[in-house]
Structure 1
Amino acid sequence: MNPSRVGYPQVRGRGMRGRAWGIDAGGVNPELGRVAVGQGGVVSRAQAISAGYTPEQIRERLSDGRWERVRRGQYAERVDLGRLEPWEQELFRHRRLVHAAMNAMQPGSAVVSHHSALVLQRIPVWRADLAEVQLTRTNGRGEVKAGVRHHQGRLTPADLTQVAGLAVTSVPRAVVETASTTSFEAAVVSIDAALRRPEVSAGELRRLLTVTDCWPGGPTIRLALAFADPLAESVGESRLRVLMHNEGLPPPVLQAVFEDDAGFIGRVDFYFPDYNTVVEFDGLMKYADGSQYTLIQEKIREDRLRALGLQVVRLRWVDLAHPARTALAIRKAFDTSRRTRLAG
């Protein structure tokens, strides 16, 4: 997945033309529609039959593409995802998988957790296996079964919330759960974003640090929480922060504001004050409108920054795949700034 932001678009069923779940050529089935709306668009075979569909009608709808099988015994309307970015499609499918997995569980026997809880709560995830649903069992044992990873864990009321009708671990709990099972980079991506949420307090994170102290992933949790910064405003900026840290670059100032005689120039993603260097990350959506006006304004902005004596380094998603080369580009800007100062 390669998002500069996480999108949660509204999508409609293929060829539905304004129709909703349960409204077929043969008539309206509002009962199944109400059930589906409360379950993320997913219904079970038993629920469909209870709402009046016969096994033959279910097979017919699966066969002709009106419905799709999300997992065994769990169905949803087929939707056209063609207009969505690839990562948005992955997120949409994962949310359906989560609802299908929970719909197949005994009520009260599991809680959505780890990266699945983050996806439901609109927190970015990086390099998460979105084909696998993450649940924490309130009974039973930990195992991986039918595309669902069942964790064992002790949860308190402070660890829980409700999202889309499902019991879910809270954002603070979910980010430390995810950090315990993933890389430092992936943990920072999610924690940077989570820190911008009002429900994520310093006190709650301190509590969770104590709770997770002896977890197998405890060191990653502590390092990621200590490094995290809510001023990183996108997945790309968070990943670039980690890259610069790993490559031994000095810590930059985030979202520094610059002005000149004409007034406000703008905020920059990263500023190295000791080296008069600005680093800007150009995410996928930054120039989405493709307008000439936008490009001209960005060029004017960059010229004004350079007029202040700043070096400006622009980086893109592709640069994140080449850490050493990217760090070298920033260091070359440092050297240019130093030579310019000495020459002056």
Structure 2
Amino acid sequence: MGVVHRSAVGRPRNGPGRHAGEVNPKLRIIAGRQGGVFSRRQAMASGYTPRQIVDRLDDGRWERIRRGQYAERLDTSALPHWEKQRTAHIRAIHAVLNSLRDGSVVVSHQSALALHGLPLWGLDLARVHVTRVSDRSGGLVAGVVHHLGRLSPADLVHVDVPATTALRAMVETACTAPFKAAVVSADAVLRAHGSDEENLRRLMQEFEFWPGSPTARAAVGFADPLSESVGESRLRVLMHQFDLPRPILQAEFADADGFVGRVDFYFPSYNTVVEFDGLLKYGGVGSEALVREKHREDRLRALGLEVVRSTWSDFDRPAHLADRIRQAFTRPNRAA
């Protein structure tokens, strides 16, 4: 069907915490084709007895991903929590597909976004989402959400497993997610994959009467590929929800000495810029980075700009951050 083939992001590989040699060569080859996951039947066909399987589950060498589906235990303690969630969800995807008939479903919605390596902030990863290839009814089956939908060749890609494209997964997810999470995903998809306007129009028409389609239309319409991170996307939504003017993203500034920098958000009518987590964005939090950032901010202020900084903690007090931005708009020392 003209399906594109790509490698999945986050495919489990040998690494810290893996129990070297605990999977024999035959089973390792099988698991390697399935995201590190294997079934009880495959383990037994590779030479393991039922007792050996139980022993490995009991002592932690293997872990149960879902009923009858196992994998070597991974040590993810060094990963940030969002990567732990992605890794666990991708393993769950492979476990689900390994328990279903080949070709009966494609991975879709936020599960497809996980395979594409896109941000999963605010999305429910408790269940794997698939779309049935047949016309059978959908619903929740054995902890897996089965969706129905017409799939054209343009909607499909092979990311180690059959999945919907990032663009379709974006729209699918936006129909089932809150507006804020849908915007985070949509910004990331448009940034990473570009906007195929014709294909996007087709998808929006196809999804016009789906449950959640009003949220999808709003989120996709609000999405901006210039938003460079989850934090920036969340901040855009926050400013929108508090009726702040729509800013220019990634505006660049220069002075007599040359290029000063590119800022996250610029409000030209108020000579105000808003930066999200700028200390991290511009080279870490060491003393040298702090000095560079302070110098950059001084140069921006010398241009007559008010600078408002925000961090992750500001999302716990959104009204306070919105007030800080409004106060910057009204400071008398800004340029006319």
What is the match of residue 150 of structure 1? 146
Offset of residue 138 of structure 1: 2.1
**Cα RMSD over matched residues?**
2.0
What is the match of residue 86 of structure 1? 81
**Residue segments in structure 2 that go unaligned for 5+ positions in a row:** 1-8
**Which residues in structure 2 correspond to 1:47-66 (within 5 Å)?**
47-66=42-61
Give the 3-state SS of the residue equivalent to 2:210 in structure 1: coil
Q: Does structure 1 retain, via aligned residues, the 8 Å contact 2:279–2:290?
A: no
Alignment partner of 2:176 out of 176, 181, 199 = 181
Offset of residue 113 of structure 1: 0.5
Scaled by the length of structure 1, the TM-score of the pair is: 0.90
Q: How many residues align?
A: 326
What is the match of residue 68 of structure 1? 63
One-letter code aligned to 1:30: P
For residues 121 and 203 of structure 1, what CA distance do their matches in structure 2 show? 21
What is the match of residue 130 of structure 1? 125
**Residue segments in structure 1 that go unaligned for 5+ positions in a row:** 1-6
Give the 3-state SS of the residue equivalent to 1:268 in structure 2: strand
For residues 239 and 47 of structure 1, what CA distance do their matches in structure 2 show? 44
Q: Does structure 2 retain, via aligned residues, the 8 Å contact 1:276–1:310?
A: yes
Offset of residue 136 of structure 1: 1.1
One-letter code aligned to 2:15: R
- Give per-residue Cα distances to partners, 1:92-121, cap 9 Å, x unaligned: 101101110111111111111100000110
**Which residues in structure 2 correspond to 1:186-197 (within 5 Å)?**
186-197=181-192
What is the match of residue 229 of structure 1? 224
What is the match of residue 120 of structure 1? 115
For residues 140 and 280 of structure 2, what CA distance do their matches in structure 1 show? 36
Q: Does structure 2 retain, via aligned residues, the 8 Å contact 1:13–1:77?
A: no
- Give per-residue Cα distances to partners, 1:284-337, cap 9 Å, x unaligned: 95378432111111111111101111000000111123222111110000011x
Q: Does structure 1 retain, via aligned residues, the 8 Å contact 2:182–2:216?
A: yes
Q: Does structure 1 retain, via aligned residues, the 8 Å contact 2:109–2:170?
A: yes
Alignment partner of 1:41 out of 36, 40, 54 = 36
Offset of residue 273 of structure 1: 0.5
One-letter code aligned to 2:333: T
Q: Does structure 2 retain, via aligned residues, the 8 Å contact 1:14–1:66?
A: no
Alignment partner of 2:315 out of 298, 320, 330 = 320
Q: Does structure 2 retain, via aligned residues, the 8 Å contact 1:283–1:317?
A: no
Give the 3-state SS of the residue equivalent to 2:162 in structure 1: strand
For residues 248 and 292 of structure 1, what CA distance do their matches in structure 2 show? 37
- Give per-residue Cα distances to partners, 1:255-306, cap 9 Å, x unaligned: 0001111111110000000000000000795378432111111111111101
Alignment partner of 2:249 out of 250, 254, 279 = 254
What is the match of residue 161 of structure 1? 157
For residues 126 and 106 of structure 1, what CA distance do their matches in structure 2 show? 31
What is the match of residue 329 of structure 2? 334
Distance verdict in 2 for CA 1:257–1:176, change over 3 Å = same
What is the match of residue 17 of structure 2? 14
What is the match of residue 272 of structure 2? 277
